[in-house]
Structure 1
Amino acid sequence: MPRIRSLMAVFLALALIAMPGLALARAGSGSSFGSRGSMTYSAPPSTQTAPYSAAPMQRSMTPNTPSYGSHGYNQPYGQSSFGGGGFMSGLMGGLIGAGIGGLLFGHGFFGGGMHGFGFIGFLFQLLLIYWIGKFLFRTFFGSQPLTANGPNLFARGGMAGPVGGGGGFGGRGPAGIQIGPADYQQFEQLLKGIQAAWSAQDLNALRAMATPEMVGYFNEQLSEQASRGVRNTVSDVTLVSGDLAQAWAEGGREYATVAMRFQMIDVTLDNTGRVVDGSPSEHVTATEIWTFVRSAGGHWVLSAIQQAR
């Protein structure tokens, strides 16, 4: 029995570690990378589509210096997916560590102090604490006013008029710019076009829709797929909702950061055509924050992708 309990503890730990790493094979592969000018290392304001903002950049050609992006992320890097900030992260980590440690040393969870609840009792307590913490977090923080400019600006064709996009700068950052219906149409077209070019492994098409930095990251990911003998395709992309987080001008360029929730068929096949991930008939939903850039009078291209928290 001690050996079985130890194995169960190891499996539980591995499952908790692996949860955020579920397959994400679409363009970007579920990562956060690219550049947002001086805002690269600052968190975009929250929106209705992405109420907990975006994950920090994992890769960027923009130097991460104190003078770049001084606004800072509103949540610390690597925050626990349990959604409760430092207190909840520490509490959950302590409970898991104590329980697993007790199993490994043969004392049961919490040194046998659960009076008969055992492993199942611990799981119930763990889930209870998680859901209570999640409820409290949403109650006290989820109802805060959104800092984005305009509700779901291009959800289901519901285009709004031009909106000033300095959201969250408070007059201390770059000047806001106006974003109108034609811009939102371009964003949606780029979302679909980039996924189509990714699926076709068409780097020339990607170069027309993304910065050289982003094309380089896409090329790396496609090369990794080729080395593994698999190919990912994304089809039937449908924008469910989207809204503006920020839009600003700096250094002769204009930037717009938008949150988008979209559905798609995301499937990965091996060289024989066998499905190794995803489903060719079931849609999946993703929420990402995309940043677009353009020169004055030019067309928008993708410059960054960030995952929603």
Structure 2
Amino acid sequence: MTSNSSYILTLSCADRVGLVHAVSGFLAERSGNIEEAAQYNDKDTGLFFMRVQFACDSLEGAALKADLAEFAAAFDMRWSLHTTSESMKAVIMVSKEGHCLNDLLFRWKSGLLPVDIRAIISNHRDFYQLAASYNIPFHHIPVTAATKAQAEAKQFEIIQAEGAELVVLARYMQVLSDDLCKKLSGRAINIHHSFLPSFKGAKPYYQAHDRGVKLIGATAHYVTADLDEGPIIEQDVARASHSDTVEDLTARGRDTESQVLARAVKWHSEHRVLMNGHKTVIFK
């Protein structure tokens, strides 16, 4: 079967017998051809999660969504439907550490990330030339304690104007207000340079060095009002030695941070991440 209309359906609901059959039957009735499917039954919460990629030429997107809404209502499902042809619009926020930004831009330009980077926002000017080299608008918005509210209002205005479905905090070293966290709920990913829940907050490499850890890590998680407490998407580690300085740990950790953030952004933009309370379900 060939098709020009390919979709990704994600859903969750209370677990019950026959859900996979019901979903596949719904798609089959509309000549939908399943190309990829994965499901998870969480026995602790009693919830069912599913991601299905399928091709369907028999219905336009609006009609398909209308049918899905009626179908999902019978199961009290939370669901979303996306076309695979459209890259997810994203805005990146950064401060003075540019390794994650540089990595994301290279992967995006190389076709390795299915995102459409619409803008870069920074509280410093350091990377305006890097942004220009990729032909991406760069917005310098300084942030102080006195101007934080006004700065965040400008940031959110840009995010909304660009239609961003994803905001990536690529070492953006400012704590977002509770209000902005709520506005960006479920669509803002942060990279924290430690293996959470260890070493939350500021200077985690200093904390790790002080404790003499043998592994340092990085964690990509969704942003919430609780600092470094958001649902975790991806983590990884690198070896550390008793002879490592803080500078050694910081340098070694940059590669881990970049890789972890890139994987999280890719999975999110491919609609492979489903929220499960304070945790996530990842269909890799």
TM-score, length of structure 1 as denominator length: 0.24
Write 1 or 2 for the structure with the bigger share of strand. Answer: 2
TM-score, length of structure 2 as denominator length: 0.25
